[in-house]
């Protein structure tokens, strides 16, 4: 049986680390692409990852390239291309530059891999998903944003630290846009099935919610040059695995809502079932009035960015 093909567009920290994770999981053959001015960089990283195979025991083929023809007929394409955040820069500041990059990338991907499932990682995430959807012309179940998996993982890390338990027993759910307005749903957070409110105090949870929302900025501030890439690449890896193994996992992802949760024509993070078709089901949670208000506020912040893209005619 032929191996699946996964292409990663962008050979920076997120893209290269993701390529390594995908190869180690033996999810398929991996192509890592970057722009021509990077010369041999993607080829060098691809070869380096390939040569790790005998040590880690994987047979996935890994190739770095600057030629989109090498990505042709991919089953999954992950777009990580774009400039990273710098200290003091919000995701919104990235809008114009990264919209142009994601548009150009998506045009090439739609031409060379018309049946692929797209996973968008570039920031500002929800707006970049909108660009990818409109430019590709793909059906909405094949364009997915990686955000909620990462935000939920960050929240789980902080809960495990506070409760002094294994991260394996922590379940979290973060909805909304990928940014300061994200909406952690405390009622759905558990430790081995026990509601989090029975284990941690309210002030502890309030602090965790705040730190989760600022999770990316905290790492940017510490690194000083660049942004997070280990946890983001792990999050994408989980999504790719769910799709290529048809695992039907329930994961929070940015998807194009058409009335679900009272939101229309926007990419917003909600729980979905991920399988071989991409988004196979949108799970609609019973939210409280307060949670619905918070989710709508988050959606409104996403809407502002998409309206800017429309006014600038980046997308229709």
The active-site residue out of 134, 178, 273, 303 is: 178
Q: Give me the torsion for CA of 49, 50, 53, 55, rounded to 10°.
A: -60
Query: What SS3 class is residue 12?
Result: coil
The CB-side HSE value for 85 (13 A sphere, CA atoms) comes to: 26
- Beta-ladder partners of 6: 30, 76
Active site residue 178: yes
148-163 helix and 230-244 helix, angle to the nearest 10 degrees: 120
Q: Which residues contact 222 (CB under 8 A, 6 or more apart)?
A: none
CA neighbor of 315 nearest in space, from 156, 184, 135, 168: 135
Query: How many angstroms separate the CA atoms of 316 and 314, rounded?
Result: 7
| Cβ neighbours of 115 (radius 10 Å) | 9
Query: DSSP string covering 152-191, please?
Result: HHHHHHHHHHHHT--GGGEE--EEB-SSTT-EE-GGG-EE
Locate the DSSP E strands across the chain: 5-9, 29-33, 62-65, 76-79, 117-120, 143-145, 170-171, 174-175, 183-184, 190-191, 194-195, 249-258, 264-275, 278-282
Task: Give CA–CA dist 253/270, Å, rounded.
Answer: 6
Element at 70 (helix H, strand E): none
Enclosing H/E stretch for 60: none
Structure-token pair, residue 304: 């502002």
Residues labelled as active-site residues: 178
């Amino acid at each position: 049986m032929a191996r699946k093909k996964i292409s990663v567009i962008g050979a920076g920290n997120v893209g290269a680390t993701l390529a390594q994770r995908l190869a180690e999981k033996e999810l398929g053959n991996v192509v890592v692409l970057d722009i021509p001015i990077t010369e041999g960089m993607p080829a060098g990283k691809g070869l380096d990852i390939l040569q790790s195979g005998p040590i880690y025991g994987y047979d996935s083929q890994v190739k770095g390239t600057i030629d989109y023809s090498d990505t042709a007929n991919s089953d999954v394409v992950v777009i990580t291309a774009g400039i990273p955040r710098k200290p003091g820069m919000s995701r919104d500041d990235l809008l114009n530059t990264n919209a142009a990059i994601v548009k150009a990338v998506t045009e090439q991907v739609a031409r060379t891999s018309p049946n692929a499932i797209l996973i968008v990682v570039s920031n500002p995430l929800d707006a970049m998903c909108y660009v990818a959807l409109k430019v590709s012309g793909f059906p909405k179940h094949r364009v997915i944003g990686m955000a909620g998996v990462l935000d939920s993982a960050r929240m789980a890390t902080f809960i495990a630290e506070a409760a002094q338990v294994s991260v394996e027993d922590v379940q979290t759910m973060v909805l909304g846009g990928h940014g300061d307005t994200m909406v952690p749903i405390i009622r759905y957070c558990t430790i081995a099935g026990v509601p989090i409110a029975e284990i941690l105090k309210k002030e502890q949870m309030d602090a965790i919610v705040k730190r989760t929302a600022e999770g990316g900025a905290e790492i940017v501030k510490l690194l000083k040059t660049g942004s997070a890439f280990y946890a983001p690449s792990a999050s994408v890896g989980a999504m790719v695995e769910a799709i290529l193994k048809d695992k039907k996992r329930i994961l929070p992802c940015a998807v194009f809502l058409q009335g679900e949760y009272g939101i229309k024509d926007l990419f917003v993070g909600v729980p979905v079932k991920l399988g071989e078709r991409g988004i196979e089901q949108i799970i609609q949670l019973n939210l409280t009035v307060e949670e619905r208000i918070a989710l709508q506020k988050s959606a409104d912040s996403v809407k502002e960015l998409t309206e800017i893209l429309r006014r600038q005619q980046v997308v229709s």
